[in-house]
């Protein structure tokens, strides 16, 4: 075999192996344990006499094979409990029906591990677009079985926090006016839980903290070019992390599951542990 022919053969092998190696690397990123991100947020409307609250924010579980079977979710639950949060919040998209799935799970089977979550102030959730696309009633029933309270365009008070839960705006199920009115009807620092952060510009100024998911922080962020998509009409404005715009803060988690493809690159899954307190 000539040197030239040998080089051609090895080059072709390299071209064939490189995509497989890249896919394996991105899949390994997708199934890693979520990064724990921490922040302390001082809120101007937090009651002076109220104690701080530690909030764990999760989103976009997307229970589905191969990357997020119930067994993996069951391994993540003790990690969340170890954070010792006062309140656990879910910003929607509990399930997935992506075409690349090797197996889908019913809401009851897929979300059963969440019943082991522990938080003194309770566990609360809003639904996301995938939950509505699958079956909002089914997912809601599964969450209730796991002792998770669903907030549907309503608000409750937990310690010094007045928590509003906005149903999914992406699928047209949100009632912004009604949710804000409910938040204003009770005391506490106003915190809005929403699946998508795109609601931000429409929120009145007296809602100073928004907690959301949906963007996956881009999920696949290419070197130089950045994220393929944030699934947001505002692009990277509300793409990821802790965003400050004037007096308002928006926290967008990358979520712990994946959408469309079971890959992550440059956007690791994460959970936010937020300490909310008086300013």
- CATH number, domain of 75, equals 3.60.21.10
Q: What is the reported pLDDT for 20?
A: 82
Helix, strand, or coil here: 76?
helix
Residue 48 CA to residue 52 CA, distance in Å, equals: 10
Mean pLDDT along residues 145-173:
97
| Residue 5 located in a structural domain | no
| Residue 9 located in a structural domain | no
Q: Are 169 and 196 in contact (CB under 8 A)?
A: yes
CA atoms within 13 A on the CB side of 1: 8
Per the structure, the count of domains in the chain is 1
| Residue 1 located in a structural domain | no
Average pLDDT, the chain: 93
| Residue 249 located in a structural domain | yes
Count other C-beta atoms under 10 Å from residue 42's C-beta: 14
Q: Are 123 and 164 in contact (CB under 8 A)?
A: no
What residue numbers bound the domain in which 92 lies? 31-278
| Residue 49 located in a structural domain | yes
Q: Which of 210, 187, 179, 258 minimizes the C-alpha distance to 57?
A: 210
| Residue 159 located in a structural domain | yes
Q: Quickly state the pLDDT bin for 6 (edges 50, 70, 90).
A: low
Q: What is the reported pLDDT for 11?
A: 46
Q: Is the pLDDT of residue 14 over 90?
A: no
Residue 86 CA to residue 174 CA, distance in Å, equals: 27
Q: Which of 77, 63, 58, 50 minimizes the C-alpha distance to 211?
A: 58
Which tokens is 95 given?
């399930």
Task: Give residues with Cβ within 8 angstroms of 17, minimum separation 6.
Answer: none
């Amino acid at each position: 075999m000539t040197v030239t022919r040998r080089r051609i053969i090895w080059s072709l092998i390299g071209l064939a192996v490189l995509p497989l190696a890249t896919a394996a690397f991105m899949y390994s990123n997708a199934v890693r344990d979520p990064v724990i991100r921490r922040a302390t947020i001082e809120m101007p409307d937090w009651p002076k006499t109220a104690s701080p609250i530690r909030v764990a924010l999760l989103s976009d579980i997307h229970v589905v094979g191969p990357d997020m079977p119930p067994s993996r979710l069951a391994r993540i639950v003790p990690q969340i409990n170890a954070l010792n949060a006062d309140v656990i919040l879910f910003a929607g998209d509990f399930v997935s029906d992506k075409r690349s799935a090797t197996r889908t799970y019913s809401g009851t089977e897929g979300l059963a591990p969440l019943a082991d979550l522990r938080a003194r102030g309770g566990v609360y959730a809003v639904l996301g677009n995938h939950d509505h696309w699958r079956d909002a009633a089914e997912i809601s029933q599964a969450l209730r079985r796991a002792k998770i309270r669903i907030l549907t365009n309503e608000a409750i008070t937990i310690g010094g926090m007045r928590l509003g839960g906005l149903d999914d705006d992406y699928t047209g199920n949100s009632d912004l006016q009604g949710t804000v009115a409910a938040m204003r009807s009770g005391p506490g620092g106003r915190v809005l839980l929403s699946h998508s952060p795109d609601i931000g510009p429409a929120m009145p100024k007296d809602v100073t903290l928004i907690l959301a998911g949906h963007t996956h922080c881009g999920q696949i962020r290419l070197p130089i070019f950045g994220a393929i998509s944030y699934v947001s009409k505002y692009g990277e404005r509300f793409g990821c992390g802790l965003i400050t715009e004037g007096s308002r803060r928006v926290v967008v988690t990358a979520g712990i599951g994946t959408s469309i493809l079971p890959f992550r690159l440059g956007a690791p899954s994460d959970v936010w542990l937020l300490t909310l307190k008086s300013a």
